Amino acid sequence: MMIKQLNSWEKLKILGEGSKFDVCGFPSIFTKKKKKFQRFGFIYPAVGRKGSCVNLFKVLQSNACEGNCFYCANRKDRNFSRIEFSPQELAKLFLLYYKKGLVNGLFLSSAIYQSSDKSEEKMLKTIELLRYKYSYRGYIHYKILPGTSESLIEGAWRLADRLSINLEAPGPKYLERLSPTKKFSSQLLEGLKKIAYFNEKKPLRAGITTQLVVGAAGETDKEILNFSFKLYENYKLWRIYYSAFMPILQTPLEELPPCPLMREYRLYQADFLLRGYNFSPEEIPFEKDGNLSLKYDPKLAWALKNPHRFPVEINKAEFDELIRVPGIGKISAKRIIETRKIHRFTNLNELKETGAVVKRAQNFITLSGKFYPAPGKSEPEPDQQLFLWEEI
Ligand code: SF4
């Protein structure tokens, strides 16, 4: 494989663009934040806590790959220019943008050239330069490649704020449909276990994440979410990112239709119910085909399937009952309980002041025993659940 020589700016354009399939923030199309710097592929507005947005310098160390994943733009059999940054070159380039205040942190990944360890060594060298030579103390999200050896993972754990490894699929059967080269247990899961081991010794400041490709291997949402639940339980992941499959020209999956973004979004919503709202995987409402409804958000779909749990009396309900009401999130539930110490709720306007989305909640609640259904609606609006990032 020939590595082409280009200047740093040309490399940055290509290797920034090449990193776009690695997800490290929530899908901003569903947030109220506008994407800044969208004209630069390497500046990535990652949406994080409470919808806040940080600009990450998001780049690959190299796009030269000996892997041949069926969905990937960097796969070995795809014909395009292969380039790489030297650690020194990339560290200096990042600092240039950081010092100008154009980015707040680094996201570093790479394709696999020669071996995972060889690629990882270059990435590690880059962040060592940043931390030790240039005294950079800011945020680093660092990608562990499949099959990386333990000593390199340990080195990365000492320097990065967040480590991630892409598991790609909810099991080996589905991974085989996505990649002929990645090994689910021995490379991916094993890598995650090693990261989790170090994280147990001393937690990473921004935790561990992983990424799953959605809609390219025939997996159902139920399989994905059951798998996600186990990952959260076993490895204390901070977050799982779902990446809707997009076909890329000159790949074996180029004819496959793209995964609807709404499917990706519904997965985030259901994931949120598992992590933040005490839903068990069995309670997540799936359609007959094992997927989430695209029409109704999962919390509303659950409420519609469980009419015996409603109406909930706002003046008496426990916190856990309140947060299961469509239109009431954790913040509004806390405010409801605080407000109840001062007065009873007697009308919908009082409820609105807590931040609850009244038009969503009103079909599922009573206020001092009175029911206030939305007028003239035979079925609920297929609206989105509360602003998803309310309390992340
Ligand atoms: S290992 Fe697979 S997913 Fe990773 S860059 Fe290479 S082809 Fe792409």
Q: In the structure encoding, which two tokens stand for residue 258, read together?
A: 């793209």
- Domain positions in the chain are 8-283, 298-371
- Pairing mode, strands 365-367 and 312-313: parallel
**233 class by beta-carbon count within 10 Å (0-12 exposed, 13-18 middle, 19+ buried):** exposed
Question: What was the pLDDT predicted at 15?
Answer: 92
With a 6 Å cutoff on the Cβ, whether 72 touches ligand 1 is: yes
With a 6 Å cutoff on the Cβ, whether 253 touches ligand 1 is: no
Distance CA 265, CA 244 (A): 9
State which fold the 8-283 domain adopts. Answer: TIM Barrel (3.20.20)
CATH class label, 298-371? mainly alpha
Distance CA 299, CA 132 (A): 47
> Ligand 1 pocket check: which of 21, 112, 164, 175 to mutate, most ligand atoms within 8 Å of Cβ?
112
With a 6 Å cutoff on the Cβ, whether 73 touches ligand 1 is: no
Q: In the structure encoding, which two tokens stand for residue 72, read together?
A: 């990937």
Task: Specify which residues 371 forms β-bridges with.
Answer: 366
Residue 240: its H or E element: strand 239-244
Distance CA 377, CA 177 (A): 44
Residue of the CA atom closest to atom 1 of ligand 1:
67
With a 6 Å cutoff on the Cβ, whether 75 touches ligand 1 is: yes
With a 6 Å cutoff on the Cβ, whether 62 touches ligand 1 is: no
DSSP H helical segments within 67-213, as ranges? 87-99, 116-128, 150-159, 172-178, 190-201
DSSP label of 187: I
Ligand 1 mean position to 154 CA, how many Å? 22
Q: What is the residue-level pLDDT of the chain in tens, covering all 392 positions?
A: 787 888 998 999 999 988 888 877 666 555 555 455 455 678 888 766 556 678 999 999 999 999 999 999 999 999 988 999 999 999 999 999 999 999 999 999 999 999 999 999 999 999 999 999 999 999 999 999 999 999 999 999 999 999 999 999 999 999 999 999 999 999 999 999 999 999 999 999 999 999 999 999 999 999 999 999 999 999 999 999 999 999 999 999 999 999 999 999 999 999 999 999 999 999 999 999 999 999 999 999 999 999 999 999 999 999 999 999 999 999 999 999 999 999 999 999 999 999 999 999 999 999 999 998 887 655 655 554 444 434 32
- pTM of this structure: 0.91
If one counts every other C-beta atom within 10 angstroms of the C-beta of residue 87, the result is 18
